[in-house]
Amino acid sequence: MFFNAIAVVCADASGYEATEEDFVRWENTWDSLIPPGAYDFVPKDFYFELLFNPTFQSQLDEAGRVINPLLEGKSIEIAGFMVPIEVREENVLKFLLVPEAGQCIHVPPPPLNQTLFVDTTTAPTPLRDLYQPIIIWGRLSVGTQSFEIADSGYSLAASKIITLNLEEDMIPVVPGADGDR
């Protein structure tokens, strides 16, 4: 999830305004879900054709199933996208949080170590557009769960969820795609 953070304002009454540093911190939180060394097999001189190598693909799949046990019980703040699993009227009771918009609505789903299960049954959260980013504060639990659309490697007991409203001049930035950024 890369953004050119010009200005971001949350939809709730808190007036929370995200900075470029917030986006870096959230990206680092997603990275911390992957145990150190999980992708050490990827060569520094990676080339596109390698993706078609069955052995390499198998290694990628296996690395995506490795979760970080050191995160058990840790409090985190993370931004991502909601993929509803259970909805009642206009409220989401259970959902998956993924790092990029549109994941889980296509195949393959994101790796297990990049998917968080969030149960808001006791305090349902409003249904949002799948492309609307949210920020969640909460405590992590490590452990896999399987759902029809994807598996998760973590559960997050959310203490607070707010919506990020990206202003129209927020442009997703793809590293290396534009030398001026």
d(Cα 138, Cα 119) in Å, to the nearest integer?
11
Residues 6+ apart with CB under 8 A from 167: 6, 7, 8, 9
- At 43 the pLDDT is 93
Best CA proximity match to 91, nearest among 135, 124, 68: 124
- At 105 the pLDDT is 64
Q: How many helices (H) and strands (E) does the chain have?
A: 2, 10
d(Cα 20, Cα 7) in Å, to the nearest integer?
9
Q: Are 139 and 175 in contact (CB under 8 A)?
A: no
- Terminal Cα distance for the chain, rounded: 15
Look at residue 120 and give its three-state secondary structure: coil
Structure tokens at 7: 């200005």
Query: Domain ranges in the chain?
Result: 3-34+70-172
User: Which pLDDT tens digits describe the chain residue by residue (181 residues)?
Assistant: 434 333 444 444 455 676 777 777 778 889 999 999 999 999 999 888 998 999 999 999 999 999 999 999 999 999 999 999 999 999 999 999 999 887 666 678 899 999 999 999 999 899 888 888 999 999 999 999 999 889 999 999 999 999 887 664 444 544 544 444 3
Q: Is 86 exposed, middle or buried (CB count within 10 Å of its CB: 0-12, 13-18, 19+)?
A: middle
- At 14 the pLDDT is 55
d(Cα 163, Cα 82) in Å, to the nearest integer?
10
Q: Can you give the pTM of this predicted structure?
A: 0.79
What is the enclosing helix (H) or strand (E) of 64? helix 54-64
CATH architecture of 3-34+70-172: Beta Barrel (2.40)
Structure tokens at 136: 């969640």
- At 80 the pLDDT is 92
- At 7 the pLDDT is 41
